[in-house]
Amino acid sequence: MSILRETIDLIKGATALPGWLRERSASPDERALRRAARCADLADAAGPDCRRLSDAELRSELQAVSRRPESLASISQALTLAGVAMERRLGAWRAFDREQVPDSLLHCYELANEPATRASQVFDDLSLPAEEREVMRGIVRGREMLETIQPADVALPGSFYEALAALDAGSELRFTPTREQTISAALLLRGAIVEMDAGEGKTVSAGLAAIVAASSGRSVHVVTANDYLAQRDADWLTPVYSSLGISVDAVLSSMEDDERRLAYGRQVVYSTAREIGFDYLRDNLRLPPELPVQGPLDTVIVDEADHVLIDQDRTPLIISGEEAEDSGGFRSAHDAVEQLLALHAKQVRLAEANVLFDTDEARAGEDHAMLYAADPESAVLRDAIAKSGMSRHKLMAMLDEMHDEPGTGAYEQRFYYVTDATRSSVRFTQRGEEFLAHLLGQPQSDSPQLRDDPWTGPDLTDLAQRNVDGKSTDQSRWVAALGMVHQLLRAHTLFKRDIDYVVADGRVVIVDPMNGRLLPDNRYLHGLQAALEAKEGLDPRSETETIAQITVSGLISRYARVSGLTGTATEARDEFDRTYGLETVKVAPTHPKRRVDEAPEIFASNQDLQAAMIDQVNNWRTIGRPVLIGTVSVRQSEEISELLNRAGIEHSLLNAVTSEWEAKIVRDAGQFGAMTVSTNMAGRGTDIIIEPGLGDQIVTACLDRVTAILAERPESTVALRCGTSEEAELIAEAAAQTGLRVSRAWDGSKTKTVRVSNTLCVAELVDDRDTIEFGLGLCVIGVALHQSGRVDRQLRGRAGRQGAFGASKVLASLQEDPIAFSRQAPTLNRLARIASAHDSGPNTRIGRSLRQLQEEAAADRRAAHEASRDYTAVLEHQTLTYYRARQLILTDAAWSDSCEDMARTWAEQFVSERFGEVYKVGYLTVFEKLVARLWSDLGIDCDGLFGAGEVAISDALTELLTGRLAEIRVQLGDDAYDDHSRTLLVRAADQLWPGHLSHLRDVALSTAIAGPTHREAAAHFAGFARDAYRELVSAAWRRALPEILTLHFEGHGQPPSEKPTPVSEEILSLLA
């Protein structure tokens, strides 16, 4: 394999090979990148000609190019025109703002603001350079036009911009999209996920692509991470869009429907996936004469694509309605689970005692495995595992062996529940099931245990029928109780305060696990929110009905064209391809990276890690280098903050609890001497701006420290260990200028260590010297390893943006997840001991092991997500099917035929249901009930059919119903009949739909808990959902048809309510 790989690499690198062969040997993303690079080359070549165009000509040329067939040439030309528009409106137009005029143009600006008579004399003064006169004419003309027309309609000649560029000596008014931004825009137009380093200008790239797409007549949605970024980006780029005749707006959470409808009417719309998704759901719930607000979904460009398309896809967007009925069993279920937890805790303490005091080595592994199953968070267990290096997979293998033993395994009889930390799941053991069944009173059935297959109970179609008709059974109540106790157990064992959620203002608020932000409008479903509130001693809020739901991937699939940008796409390449069918392409940065990414360090305990962190912070604090300490949770950030307080280190704290000060904290994080502790939210979507002159301040502070050391010990040498050779040269030059003797020659080679002393001979020969770590720019220190490698890389990317100096390092503890119990734990434990014994510092093998660990953790998360998707995909498919059916009903041209067909079906079912009892109660009783029901509900007289059989009565009733429908159509008129009858059917379906969704979600949860295997359980659920949907459609017709048949009666002449169900504004999100 190595020979084959080398051969392929040689082929790829052989420049003498024919172009077609090099193209064949390239990967798809390499070919896409080459095509985009050719597009950028063509755009660069067309730049000079486009810059000579006036503003009006620029707009006309873009419109002309957009009408041509899409090709490499037309796309490159459009990108050039879009780039020139950005140069002018974001750069050159700052000449109209007195505060932004550079010194080299200040005299032109002042002369242009002279009175009109004086200005005309100045323009005619031939002694002035032609460029200055042209600039002054442009400023005067622009100012005059701005008094009467909108800025977008102000058209200035190309000569004005050329003269302005010639006089702008320092390029202070220059704003030119980079080649890399043009390449990225070309890739977006191709439909790819583009990776650009932090600070490379993803907003500009998205804007260029949006301009080209919108100019060709497409409706473009640019999806951002939050409302603030949507409004910011739309406002910043509005002058560019408007100058090219392209309308733009932002859709925000605070907008009303009319505002949204107006905004969606623009050619380019900035918003969040949340707002677009909820508007899509609401539009599909509307009835005439209500108008949709959104319009068709055509083209979408997603910023922070990994977060939006992957992380947020795990949480479906859900619209809620009225509060669901409380089954009344929540309190008893909570009491039962609390009793179970107390009994389980006693068994855990006994198991911890076994681990601590059992001297039998043969049983040690079994004791560890049992304690791991019972309580993976046990401090006793983690200490023992850190010493032994036993991995999670070995522990799980032992548990499997014990489960195969007679009696279903010792831990099944001993503990009340077991936890699978890998998949973040928990289940009751046999002992726990029996305990709960005793307390809650499980009904007698053929499946006595909680974990048995629920499908061995009632027939699926029968169960669906009972749900739609609103009938409750002991079995369905037991399924609901099963869901409640399981969610309560999950709340107590899997969800941690200040990690997964916080308690604020008397309620539980979810924390986004990927960026640490609060999600106040979201809540857990399936009763988990109420379970967490009960756990925290709060009053549980009632569950609400789900009216509509869709996942982000389901929403994105509605678009014809999809693309996105992010700083960390490489790690998610497979997910982008598998879920969205999108290729991932990395674009090289404009500036070479100067950030030093040090190898991770691991420590045997949290105490060792914290001590090392304090040492590093103290070192950087002495020279004023700003430090950002990255944590993975609110709890950890507050622990680190308290540790720094005890050490007397002033700092700022940024987490979900203190997020109202985010803007100020992020702004100040790049200041001289700044110390910031933050969760993953820092810098996500916003930049940490480095203070101007920071490098000079750090150099000065470092040399002050060196001078102080040499003043105290004149004969000593101070070694400055630098991150890069460039930093070493800078500090060496600055030290030499202060009169210190500097040496970088050591063992005959240049190093990154600079030795400073009062005399040269001391610097070169003395080994006993003080050492100072030196570095420029922001230093990022991660104090925990995140389960996702993407998040760690995002944290590192906060430093060294746009080619600036910076450094990053990750510190990790063997006692914390995801290292604890991992397959790599034994290897990392050994490497940590070696590093500690020899003081060898970071080891490259540690980095490789940690990357492998994160890849395995990501695979586990994907497996869990895909397992959940097997259920949510069914719900989503039914939701989209229901929406299509709903729209078809409202627009069906053959509506009268549909009504007649359903009348026939309704008659057959109505008669069949009554005649099903004929052998029990006799023909006469059945016929009398049938006649009475038809007369009371529909006003139809069937007395003359006495003596006829089931089929004859059904046929006769069908004829009567279709005749009645024809009479109503004649009486009301075709249009009124169609409008009334369509609305009645949709309203009936809308009333049944929330209950249908809720029931399916309850069944999905109980199936996932109790199913024998995932595949079998998912298949059972899909079949059940299909039957339930058919029954929903039938039930809707059964409700609507009697109302349609009585439309001509008094009181039915007015159209029914236009709203199918009352929809609240509260938006829910389901944690899959």
pLDDT digit string (tens) for 585-643? 999 888 888 899 988 888 888 888 999 999 999 999 999 999 999 998 888 888 999 99
The string of pLDDT tens digits covering residues 802-811 is 888 999 999 9
The string of pLDDT tens digits covering residues 110-125 is 877 776 545 555 566 6
C-alpha pair distances (Å), 986 with each of 286, 789, 838, 1056: 10, 48, 75, 11
The string of pLDDT tens digits covering residues 663-697 is 678 878 889 999 999 887 644 556 788 888 999 99
Task: Name the DSSP letter for residue 97.
Answer: S
pLDDT reading at 1071 higher than 70? no
pLDDT reading at 1068 higher than 70? no
The whole-angstrom separation of Cα 1060 and Cα 987 is: 5
The whole-angstrom separation of Cα 787 and Cα 862 is: 12
Task: Name the DSSP letter for residue 754.
Answer: E
Task: Give the lowest-confidence range in 290-304, 696-710, 817-831, 1047-1061.
Answer: 1047-1061
pLDDT reading at 349 higher than 60? yes
pLDDT reading at 1052 higher than 50? no
The whole-angstrom separation of Cα 626 and Cα 632 is: 20
Mean pLDDT of 421-436: 79
Q: Where are the alpha helices (DSSP H) in 315-421?
A: 330-357, 361-374, 379-388, 392-404, 410-414
Share of the chain above pLDDT 70, in %: 81
pLDDT in the model for residue 9: 55
* Greater model confidence, 134 or 1058: 134
Q: Does 458 sit behind a cis peptide bond, omega within 30 degrees of 0 on the bond before it?
A: no
Task: Name the DSSP letter for residue 812.
Answer: E
Mean pLDDT of 647-653: 91
**What values do phi and psi take at 241, rounded to 5?**
-55, -50
504 pairs with which residues across the strands? 507
Asked if 498-542 and 594-690+777-857 have one fold, the answer is: no
Residue 606 CB-half CA count within 13 A: 12
**What values do phi and psi take at 965, rounded to 5?**
-60, -40
The whole-angstrom separation of Cα 753 and Cα 422 is: 44
> Contacts by 1013-1022 with C-beta closer than 8 Å and gap 24+?
1014/867, 1014/870, 1017/453, 1018/867, 1018/870, 1018/871, 1020/453, 1020/455, 1021/871, 1021/874, 1022/874
Instruction: Output the pTM of the full model.
Output: 0.79
Q: Where are the domains of the chain?
A: 19-176, 189-323+551-586, 330-497, 498-542, 594-690+777-857, 696-773, 869-1066
Name the pairing type of β-strands 248-250 and 268-272.
Answer: parallel
221 pairs with which residues across the strands? 269, 300
The string of pLDDT tens digits covering residues 713-759 is 888 888 899 988 899 989 999 998 988 888 765 443 457 888 888 87
518 pairs with which residues across the strands? 511
The string of pLDDT tens digits covering residues 88-143 is 999 989 888 888 888 888 878 887 777 654 555 556 665 678 888 888 888 888 88
* Greater model confidence, 887 or 65: 65
The string of pLDDT tens digits covering residues 775-787 is 999 999 999 888 7
Share of the chain above pLDDT 90, in %: 25
The whole-angstrom separation of Cα 789 and Cα 811 is: 14
460 CB-near residues (< 8 Å, 6+ apart): 1023, 1024, 1027
* Greater model confidence, 877 or 196: 196
pLDDT reading at 454 higher than 70? no
Q: Identify whether the C-beta of residue 381 lies closer than 8 Å to the C-beta of residue 371.
A: yes
* Cα 308 to the center of its chain, rounded Å: 3
Name the pairing type of β-strands 627-630 and 718-722.
Answer: unpaired
The whole-angstrom separation of Cα 120 and Cα 113 is: 11
Does domain 594-690+777-857 fall under CATH 3.40.50.300? My reply is yes
Angle of the 789-796 helix axis to the 844-891 helix axis, nearest 10: 110
The string of pLDDT tens digits covering residues 11-51 is 555 544 455 555 555 677 788 899 999 999 999 999 899 99
The whole-angstrom separation of Cα 209 and Cα 218 is: 11
The whole-angstrom separation of Cα 80 and Cα 410 is: 72
**Terminal C-alpha separation, the chain:** 41
The string of pLDDT tens digits covering residues 358-386 is 666 667 777 788 888 788 888 888 777 76
pLDDT reading at 319 higher than 60? yes
498-542 CATH: 3.90.1440.10
Q: Identify whether the C-beta of residue 464 lies closer than 8 Å to the C-beta of residue 1028.
A: yes
The overall average pLDDT reported for the chain is 80
pLDDT in the model for residue 619: 92
Q: Identify whether the C-beta of residue 754 lies closer than 8 Å to the C-beta of residue 790.
A: no
CATH class of the 189-323+551-586 domain in this structure = alpha beta
Structural tokens at position 411: 């831990």
pLDDT reading at 479 higher than 80? no
pLDDT reading at 208 higher than 90? yes
Name the pairing type of β-strands 317-323 and 1067-1069.
Answer: antiparallel
Mean pLDDT of 381-402: 71
Report the candidate in 274, 270, 282 with the shortest Cα–Cα distance to residue 311.
274
Mean pLDDT of 246-250: 96
SS3 at position 482: helix
Report the candidate in 70, 270, 188, 93 with the shortest Cα–Cα distance to residue 78.
70
pLDDT range class, residue 990, cuts 50, 70, 90: confident
pLDDT reading at 177 higher than 70? yes
pLDDT in the model for residue 428: 86
583 CB-near residues (< 8 Å, 6+ apart): 28, 29, 32, 192, 193, 576, 577
pLDDT range class, residue 1058, cuts 50, 70, 90: very low
Query: 869-1066: which CATH architecture?
Result: Orthogonal Bundle (1.10)
Q: Based on C-alpha coordinates, what's the Rg of the chain?
A: 35
pLDDT in the model for residue 769: 65
SS3 at position 79: helix
